[in-house]
Structure 1
């Protein structure tokens, strides 16, 4: 499994946490001797695209701002 795939699998698990808001942007980091960790969780409207699909990002922002 590639590092990218490992990070994605880790973040998929984190994203299922009931403690997170409906939508947010998750950043992971690799910590030597520990593995993947959640570095930060940001509001969807405050995060940059950073290689994300713009249409998916817009969908997340719309969902995050829905009452």
Structure 2
């Protein structure tokens, strides 16, 4: 659902499940920003795990 080529469809699905916003374009951009933030955190966690970090520490 969060692959780049599916992002627009995923945002449409998420927006349809949320209460109507006064600024749908702003909402879509907020969702894109949130997804980008999550992807950045996941990349950091993956890099730490691949470098040998303790999974218990990384998941805290």
The structure carrying a bigger strand percent of its residues is: 1
What is the TM-score with the length of structure 2 in the denominator? 0.33
The structure carrying a bigger helix percent of its residues is: 2
**Which structure has the bigger radius of gyration?**
2
What is the TM-score with the length of structure 1 in the denominator? 0.31
